[in-house]
Amino acid sequence: PALLGSESAPEHYTVIVRGVKFELSYAQITYDSPNHFTTAFLEHDFAEAQSRTLFLDRNPQLFALIVEHLSGYTILPLAQNALPTTMSYEIAYRNLYTDAEYFGLEYLLQLLSAP
């Protein structure tokens, strides 16, 4: 995974996913970059770069797994208790792949595509 700039930057960014608030550090948003978060927060043309807040209509339980990935943690194989209650393992895996595509997380896509 590529890292942009210094990991010691104190910036924090807020991502609100269907009302659930996640606080991400600079190191987290740049972990699997470039991605949706680096575009939204680090390119000054976007309102999110000023407010440091991003609102998303995605599944917050799947997003929690993405935050773990952005923290450098191993998330595969998916733990049954980490899955959204409305999804089977297979559906959650496919939806996580869809979210990885949506957020432009190439490293996570590689992990999810591995046999």
Residue 6 has pLDDT above 50, yes or no: no
**pLDDT attached to residue 1:** 55
pLDDT band with cut points at 50, 70 and 90 for residue 42: confident
% of the chain with per-residue pLDDT over 70: 90
Domain boundary assignment for the chain: 12-113
Instruction: Please give the model's pTM, rounded to 2 decimal places.
Output: 0.86
DSSP the chain: -B--S-TT---EEEEEETTEEEEEEHHHHHTTBSSHHHHHHHSTTSHHHHH-EEEE-S-HHHHHHHHHHHTT----SPPGGGS-TTS-HHHHHHHHHHHHHHHT-HHHHHHHH--
**pLDDT attached to residue 11:** 81
CATH dotted code for 12-113: 3.30.710.10
